[in-house]
Amino acid sequence: MMLVSLPENQLDSILNSLQAQTSFFGTLAPLIDITATPGNNRRIKIQPTCLESEIAAMNVLVTGGSGRIGRYVVRDLVAAGHVVTNADLAPTPGLPGGFLRVDLTDAGDVYQALAYTQSQAVIHLGAWANAGIVPDTRTFGDNARGAYNVFQACADLGIQRIVNASSAQVYGFAKAAPLYAPVDEDHPLRPCNSYALAKVVGEQTADYFVQQFGLTILSFRFMGVRMPGEIAGEIAAMAADPASGAWLLWTRTDARDAALACRLAIEAAEVPAGPYNITGAQVVLDQPAAELVATHFGASTKLHDLPDHVSPLSTARAQAAFGYRPRYVWNQRQRHPENEPETE
- Report whether 204 contacts 216 (CB < 8 A): no
User: Is 167 a binder of ligand NAD (CB under 6 A)?
Assistant: yes
Exactly one of 44, 61, 69, 210 binds ligand NAD (CB under 6 A); that residue is 69
Nearest distance in Å: CB 129, ligand NAD: 3
List the 59-63 sheet strands across, edge first.
98-101, 83-88, 59-63, 121-124, 161-167, 216-222, 274-278
Q: Per residue, what are the HEC states of the chain?
A: CEEEECCHHHHHHHHHHHHHHHHHHHHHHHHEEEEEECCCCCEEEEEEECCCCCCECCEEEEECCCCCCHHHHHHHHHHCCCEEEEEECCCCCCCCCEEEECCCCCHHHHHHHHHHCCCCEEEECCCCCCCCCCCHHHHHHHHHHHHHHHHHHHHHHCCCEEEEEEEHHHHCCCCCCCCEECECCCCCCCCCCHHHHHHHHHHHHHHHHHHHHCCEEEEEEECCEECHHHHHHHHHHHHHCHHHHHHHCCECEEHHHHHHHHHHHHHCCCCCCEEEEECCCEECCCCCHHHHHHHHHHHHCEECCCCCCECCECCHHHHHHHCCCCCCCCCCCCCCCCCCCCCC
Nearest distance in Å: CB 239, ligand NAD: 19
Nearest distance in Å: CB 157, ligand NAD: 18
User: Is 196 a binder of ligand NAD (CB under 6 A)?
Assistant: no
Nearest distance in Å: CB 90, ligand NAD: 6
User: Is 275 a binder of ligand NAD (CB under 6 A)?
Assistant: no
User: Is 335 a binder of ligand NAD (CB under 6 A)?
Assistant: no
Nearest distance in Å: CB 105, ligand NAD: 5
User: Is 73 a binder of ligand NAD (CB under 6 A)?
Assistant: no
Using CB atoms, what's the residue nearest to ligand NAD? 67
- Among candidate residues 260, 268, 235, 233, the one with its CA nearest the CA of residue 250: 235
- Of 44 and 72, CB closest to ligand NAD: 72
User: Is 174 a binder of ligand NAD (CB under 6 A)?
Assistant: no
- Of 128 and 297, CB closest to ligand NAD: 128
Exactly one of 224, 245, 275, 312 binds ligand NAD (CB under 6 A); that residue is 224
User: Is 129 a binder of ligand NAD (CB under 6 A)?
Assistant: yes
Beta-carbon contacts of 201 under 8 Å, excluding residues fewer than 6 positions away, are 140, 144, 147
Nearest distance in Å: CB 252, ligand NAD: 9
Nearest distance in Å: CB 196, ligand NAD: 10
Stretch near ligand NAD under the rule CB under 6 A, chosen from 82-90, 115-123, 150-158, 209-217: 82-90
Nearest distance in Å: CB 110, ligand NAD: 9
Nearest distance in Å: CB 133, ligand NAD: 8
User: Is 222 a binder of ligand NAD (CB under 6 A)?
Assistant: yes
- Of 125 and 290, CB closest to ligand NAD: 125
Exactly one of 89, 174, 316, 320 binds ligand NAD (CB under 6 A); that residue is 89
Binding site for ligand NAD (CB under 6 A): 64, 66-70, 88-90, 102-105, 125-129, 142, 146, 165, 167, 222, 224-225
